[in-house]
Structure 1
Amino acid sequence: MTRSSTWRAALLATATCLLPAAAGAQQGSALPLQQTTCSLGGMMQELRGALKTGSPAYRRYALEQLKMAAKAMPPEELLAAVEQEREPDVLEALGKALASKASFAEDPTLVQPLLQRAQGDADPNLRAAAVKGLRATGSVDLMAKNGNVVTYEQLIRDTSPAVREAVVGNLLDENAKVYFGHDKAVSETAVNTALASSDPELAAKLLREVSMEQVGSETVRKLTGQLRAENPTLRAASATALGGVPGPESAGATGSLVELYRNEKDPAVRKAALEGLVRLGMSGARPTLQSLRGVAPAMDPEIDAWLSALNLNLQEWSLLLREKQRIRK
């Protein structure tokens, strides 16, 4: 352990907590704070009270206090608490503290009890809580370092909608808030998880909202295959996803989206294909769009709106999309 990490651990281990004088402090109350030792038992008691009756600020404080104190806590006590907890909200909070400790200690094996509960607990609410405990962490990497014994591709098949929704929420948060769309493993896991799902709406949400800027050729091939999916929502989401693939994959993706537009009957899918084509080519998409006029006359106003937006020579996709939406209200 370095001198810096030793100092941080000592500081955390000797920290004291400032807590409201009554555990059930209500929102807007002005109860004085009292100083107490940051034992796990004490923090758990305060956390339960905060989650049940505390103000939003107090709940956030109790949750953050547990996460911070867990970094210096001997792991055995925290692991035992994760294995024994029966309240979903508290298990989620413990899971976040455990995941934070695993990252801080660079010991991914610490999350094994959480992964086991996410997959095997008899109570679906506790399974969902265990999944949520991994939110906003590098959970895909943690799972890989634990041998992929439990994966999101497995968890998305859970019989409980709450668990499946928690999986999607985790991947969206990890993509947007942990890696800001720049992690290949997270993006490819999202695609594989979507393909493993029996719920087309959840699968489509993953494909639409996770960045595809780092995915490899095999994942692009999988997305292209989904353009032939039976469900139109899934076809549209796959078209949207193909619009965000890396430059080296853009030529093949463009050809696939042109073919989709020419053969598709669903207007929403055709609309998504046009969006994907514009995102891939930006100003270079003009000739392709013009070649598609008349294929489906009812869609020509959509093509014209894109052409008008492209004439503004905007260089950022978000600005171009916003302008097109303004034109085509």
Structure 2
Amino acid sequence: MDALVRKQLGRALLLSALVAGGMSASAAQPLLTPSTCTVETMLVDVRAALKGGSPALRRYVKLRLREAALALPVAELQAALEREREPEVLEALGAALATKASHAESPTLVQPLLARAAGDADPAARAAAVRALRATPSVEFMAKNGGVVTYEQLARDSSPEVRQAVADNLREESAQVYSGHDRAVSETAVSVAAATEDPAVAAKLLGEVSMEAVGHDAVESVTRQLEAEDPGLRAAAATALGGVPGAEADGARRSLVETFRRDANPAVRKAALEGIARLGQASARPLLESLRGVDASMDLEIDAWLSALKLNLQEWHLLLREKQRLRR
């Protein structure tokens, strides 16, 4: 029995049940009511799901809206975005608009979204607008819209939620969109870390965004963060220096050794050791040996790195995992 026959049989059985229950065939409502797909009709489902739906349903309606946005009129999406006041719905609409902009290779489509991110009076709405850009080429979008709205600007927002959204966006854009290989995204993360007055945001950016493609000026900016007042930010800067390109490795290595010797904070010293190990196995061993005794409490950490390095593992994540196993 093919699918069409099964569908027709199902309809016939349902209609029979309605008739048997006392409803005449003539009075029965149509089983399927054709309707035009518009932004507003889709938002009815989105609002209902976001208000009381399961996590799976919430994900589904957001995904369906993003997919439908590819065929929906831009003007309708932008108008709905400008009217929307519920942060969750705003985020879903913004993500749909950003998806359309990416597929159409037309960054100007997100201008209303950037305007909400920078200028909405409601901090929850500003944060939602920023989150809507997540896992898209948002750094490129901002640049091609003339840099009127930038992540450096948004990272100085008075709302911690907005600042956190900026850090999450850059981390996910680096990892998910470019697999850590995009220089512009990584250097934007470094620039934002220098611009924000929120040390937690700066630490998240330096500690979690890939530095493998950054240039010399960005490395210098990260190095200056080794002097930051906040120890978490100093530790994140040390972690970041461990991932810089080979051409910058010598300077980064010297900075990390100096940091280990003068910075008494255990987290910073631990991060400096990790950075030294990451910058190169051959050079790391004698340097790590030379740091024994600087802080006796760190000697076991040095020993763990030396033991892990002896395995000559070529992948950093494998080396890090082995070192962590040794220090359990």
Normalising by structure 2, report the TM-score.
0.88
2:317 alignment counterpart: 318
Using the alignment, how far apart are the partners of 2:292 and 2:35 within structure 1?
Answer: 71
- Asked if 1:260 corresponds to 2:276, the answer is no
Using the alignment, how far apart are the partners of 1:63 and 1:242 within structure 2?
Answer: 38
**Radius of gyration: which is bigger?**
2
The one-letter amino acid of 1:157's match is: R
Moved more, 265-274 or 60-69: 60-69
Using the alignment, how far apart are the partners of 1:90 and 1:33 within structure 2?
Answer: 27
Unmatched 5+ stretches in structure 1 = 1-31
Q: Is the 8 A contact 2:39 2:80 kept in 1?
A: no
Using the alignment, how far apart are the partners of 2:205 and 2:154 within structure 1?
Answer: 14
1:239 alignment counterpart: 238
Using the alignment, how far apart are the partners of 1:296 and 1:319 within structure 2?
Answer: 27
1:154 alignment counterpart: 153
Q: Kindly report which structure 2 residues correspond to 1:11-26, keeping only aligned pairs within 5 A, or say none.
A: none
The C-alpha deviation readout for 1:253-272, integer Å capped at 9, x for no partner, is 11111111111111111111
Using the alignment, how far apart are the partners of 1:73 and 1:222 within structure 2?
Answer: 44
1:215 alignment counterpart: 214
The one-letter amino acid of 1:93's match is: A
The one-letter amino acid of 2:67's match is: M
2:64 alignment counterpart: 65
Tell me the CA shift for residue 173 of structure 1. 1.1
Unmatched 5+ stretches in structure 2 = 1-30
The one-letter amino acid of 2:81's match is: V
SS at match of 2:279: helix
The one-letter amino acid of 1:255's match is: R
Q: Kindly report which structure 2 residues correspond to 1:116-155, keeping only aligned pairs within 5 A, or say none.
A: 116-155=115-154
1:7 alignment counterpart: none
SS at match of 1:313: coil
SS at match of 1:273: helix
Q: Kindly report which structure 2 residues correspond to 1:219-298, keeping only aligned pairs within 5 A, or say none.
A: 219-298=218-297
1:34–1:89 distance in 2 versus 1, CA, 3 Å: farther
SS at match of 1:134: coil
Tell me the CA shift for residue 252 of structure 1. 0.7
Using the alignment, how far apart are the partners of 2:129 and 2:56 within structure 1?
Answer: 23
The one-letter amino acid of 2:155's match is: I
Give aligned-pair identity as a percent: 66
1:289–1:136 distance in 2 versus 1, CA, 3 Å: same
The one-letter amino acid of 1:105's match is: A
1:204 alignment counterpart: 203
How much is the aligned-residue C-alpha RMSD, in angstroms? 1.4
The one-letter amino acid of 2:183's match is: K
Normalising by structure 1, report the TM-score.
0.88
Tell me the CA shift for residue 61 of structure 1. 2.3
Q: Is the 8 A contact 1:118 1:131 kept in 2?
A: yes
Q: Is the 8 A contact 1:283 1:313 kept in 2?
A: no
1:62–1:37 distance in 2 versus 1, CA, 3 Å: farther
1:320–1:134 distance in 2 versus 1, CA, 3 Å: same
SS at match of 1:226: helix
1:17 alignment counterpart: none
The C-alpha deviation readout for 1:99-152, integer Å capped at 9, x for no partner, is 011112221111011001101000001001111111110000000000111011
The C-alpha deviation readout for 1:216-245, integer Å capped at 9, x for no partner, is 000001111111112111111100000000
1:266–1:57 distance in 2 versus 1, CA, 3 Å: closer
Q: Is the 8 A contact 2:242 2:279 kept in 1?
A: yes
The C-alpha deviation readout for 1:153-196, integer Å capped at 9, x for no partner, is 11011111111111111111111111111111111111111111
Q: Is the 8 A contact 1:82 1:94 kept in 2?
A: yes
* Number of equivalenced pairs: 298
